Every structure is written in structure tokens, then in C-alpha cells.
Amino acid sequence: MSLNYRELKRRFDLDGAARTTQHLCEALANRDLAPEDFSIRDLAEALVPEGRQWVGMLDPRQGDGGVSVMEASDGLDVTAFLQVAGQVIYSKILDAYTLEAFVASRLVQTVPTRLDGERIPGMKRVADDVDVVAPGMPYPHLGFGEDYIDTPSTSKRGFIVPVTKEAIFFDRTHLVLTRAAEVGEILGLNKEKRLLDLIVGVTNNYKSNGSPYNTYQTSAPWKNVVTANELVDWTDVDAAEQLFADMIDPATGEPVLVRGTTVLVMPAYRHAAHRVFNAAEITYTGGGAATATTAANPLGNYRVHESRLAYRRVVASGVAAVDAKKWWFIGDFKKAFAYMENWPITVTQAPLGSEADFNNDVVLRFKASERGAAAVLNPRYVVKCTG
């Protein structure tokens, strides 16, 4: 849809800056309005008192050689324009930061943290023989044990989206939104690649009790790799599930209570995966039996995802493309991996009248940043299968 800026100006004069700004920002946040529905120039003319004259002052031909934005804004309240313009930029950045193609960012859990890398203690488990509490006797305590993992140090990443005098004067809103989308996509892609590198095992930062380990092990201290296990039918899924059945908690010696819920495949096996997991029934002929057994498909509870980026990360690590396309992963990714986040994607605005205004005719600047790190919490919750 397109905004009626004459009506917007009227509502601004009647309702005031605060209510108008709140209404527009809420509409953007709720996606009732899209960033593409806005015009930077028309927005300035509607939300700045004497806005048409203010925009006109950006023309150097006005007056004695023109005036700077700081001088043109002197005595004018441009807060409403800045807030709404900031929300427009933020919405565009966020849309690109959370693209549908960024699968890993949705598979793992996000853990807010105020630490630059932290030590997460494990829980001290109690034995089964103390489960019964006799009358009048104290309950046993479940506290923190000596086991712990160390998460990696977080890193900050970000960019600045400039809005020049020309962008407002010539109403180059599309160019501003394109830059904002590029910022969001670059930041989102960088986060996705760091998460995928952990998921596929290209990088390894799992550190337990001070000792580093690779995420995927073929024997001790745990086994979560099945080789020569191309995804063809339900028996290949069963082979991966057997590793979960044999997984042992090193602190207690008890089985790890884990069951695969999600599958990640390469693009070449997208349709094969949907056939395997979404089939209505399966037919089994084994042990040289002369008859076949038909039963309901037991794999209907899995969610299947495919990622072109995951495939490219595996190939970039040195695995031949013919082999990389057969890789697939199964497990509970939210328990295995996390994004340790100091702060999410955040957009802040530089004040008017900065040095960039005088030197570069940059009227507004919006800084987008995020800080975090991809971390392995417990590799026993995911199994890697290769072809």
C-alpha cells in the first residue's frame, strides 16, 4: 500500500508527534506497513513542522549558498521524522537479517548473555537409590557439579547505513532501503555461516572440563557419526537413532535422554528426505523372508530442513561435492548448539549536525550491530551421517 501523506500531515497536526510516531512505528512492527510503503522526502515533509520548507533548504540554491541540515533544523522538532525513519530502516534490516534461507539461525537456540564467553556448570546428579525420602528426613540437594563447558568469546559485527542530503531531496528511498537490506543480509549471512560451520563440523569449539573436543566423534568419548549411511529409506534413519540409544551421560553413566526431532539435509536430498519422512506407510522385507510387511511410517514426527548454505560450507571445507551432497544431520539442534547473544540486531541513530553532515552531506546515519558467538553446548544431541 502507499501512504496518503496529506492525511498523515493532517493527523500529525491533530494528534501530535507522539501519537503519530507511535502509530506508524507499531504499524511497521506489526507488518501492517512495509518499509517500501514510505518515502523519505514525503515523510520529512509530513512529520517536520514546516517540513516542505525544511526539505527545500537542502537545496544549495536556497538563500546564500544553502544551509546545513543542523542550521535548517534549528528551532524545528524533527524527532518524529527521525524516529519513524529509524523504524523504517530497522524493519528493512531485520527483514533481510531473518531471511527464510537462514535455516541454522532458526534451528539453534539463542541464549542471552552479558558475558564475553562464559563457563556453564553442569548439574550434579543424584543416584537413583536416594530418590526415596523417609519421613522427617531432609530432601537431597541438586546443585552444580564439577562438570562445565566453556563457550567461546563473543564478537561484534555491524555496518552504518547513511542517508545523504540527495537521498532526501531527490527522494531516493529505494536506494536507502537497498543499502539497509544489504546490511541486514550480510550480518544475517555471517551469523548463519558461523552456525553452519559448527553444525557440519567445519569448526569445533566444544570445550568440556577444560579439554577441547571435536563435535563429531567416531568412537570414545561418544559416537555421533555414521559413515556410509546415505539417506535412502527408514533403515538409514534407524541406524542414526541407534547411536542415540547407545549415548551415555559421562557424568552419571546413565543413558542420555535424547531423541532426534529435526533433520537437516543438503539440497540434492531434499525430495528424498521428504519421501522418507512423509511417506504414509513403509514396506519391509528382511531376513530373506518371502513375504513383505507393510506398516505405518514411524518417522512422521521429524521436521525436515534443507540448506544450500550448509552444502556450500561442507564443500568449502574440502569435501568433494559428490560426497558432500550426501551428508545429513539428525537430532535436537536446540540442545546441541546455541548462539550466545550479547545483544540482537540493534539499530542506533547518530545525532543531527555531525561532522559527516558537513564533510559528506550525510544527513542521517543508522548503525546496525549485533554481538554474539556460535557455541556447542552438547554434541551428543546430534548425529552426522555421510554417504
In the chain, where are the structural domains located?
A: 210-337+375-385
pLDDT for position 168: 85
Helices H / strands E in the chain, number of each: 15, 15
The answer, yes or no, to whether residue 205 has pLDDT greater than 80, is yes
Cα separation, 314 vs 267, whole angstroms = 12
- From the list 252, 189, 253, 243, the residue with the least C-alpha distance to 216 is 243
pLDDT for position 64: 47
Average pLDDT over residues 84-93: 92
Q: In what order do the strands lie in the sheet with 328-331?
A: 225-226, 382-385, 328-331, 262-265, 303-306
pTM: 0.86
Q: Is residue 36 very low, low, confident or very high in pLDDT (cuts 50, 70, 90)?
A: very high
Q: Are 29 and 87 in contact (CB under 8 A)?
A: yes
pLDDT tens-digit series, residues 156-204: 999 999 998 888 888 889 999 999 999 999 999 999 999 999 999 999 9
The answer, yes or no, to whether residue 107 has pLDDT greater than 60, is yes
Give the sign of the dihedral formed by CA 125, CA 126, CA 131, CA 134: negative
Q: DSSP string spanning 207-250?
A: EETTEEE-S--BSSS-B-EESS--S-SHHHHHHHHHHHHH-B-T
DSSP-derived letter for residue 326 is T
Q: Is residue 125 very low, low, confident or very high in pLDDT (cuts 50, 70, 90)?
A: low
Residue 266 or 66, more confident: 266
pLDDT tens-digit series, residues 45-85: 888 887 787 777 776 665 444 545 555 555 567 788 888 99
Going by their DSSP bridges, the two strands 281-284 and 211-213 should be labelled as unpaired
Q: Is the peptide bond before 221 cis (omega within 30 degrees of 0)?
A: yes
* Percentage with pLDDT > 90 across the chain: 53
pLDDT for position 76: 64
pLDDT for position 143: 58
pLDDT for position 363: 82
The answer, yes or no, to whether residue 8 has pLDDT greater than 80, is yes
pLDDT for position 252: 66
**Which cell is 171 given?**
527522494
- From the list 120, 87, 109, 90, the residue with the least C-alpha distance to 341 is 109
SS3 112: strand
Lowest mean pLDDT among 74-78, 149-153, 187-191, 216-220: 74-78
Q: Is residue 362 very low, low, confident or very high in pLDDT (cuts 50, 70, 90)?
A: confident
- From the list 120, 115, 128, the residue with the least C-alpha distance to 147 is 120
Kindly give, in sequence order, each residue whose CB lies less than 8 Å from that of residue 128, ignoring residues fewer than 6 positions away.
none
The answer, yes or no, to whether residue 335 has pLDDT greater than 60, is yes
Count of beta carbons in the 10 Å neighbourhood of residue 298: 12
**Which cell is 27 given?**
504499524
The answer, yes or no, to whether residue 304 has pLDDT greater than 90, is yes
Q: Is residue 288 very low, low, confident or very high in pLDDT (cuts 50, 70, 90)?
A: low
Query: Integer distance in angstroms from the first to the last C-alpha of the chain?
Result: 49
Rounded alpha-carbon distances, angstroms, from residue 299 to 38, 108, 285, 302, 320: 47, 22, 18, 6, 30
Lowest mean pLDDT among 142-146, 186-190, 353-357, 374-378: 142-146
The answer, yes or no, to whether residue 356 has pLDDT greater than 80, is no
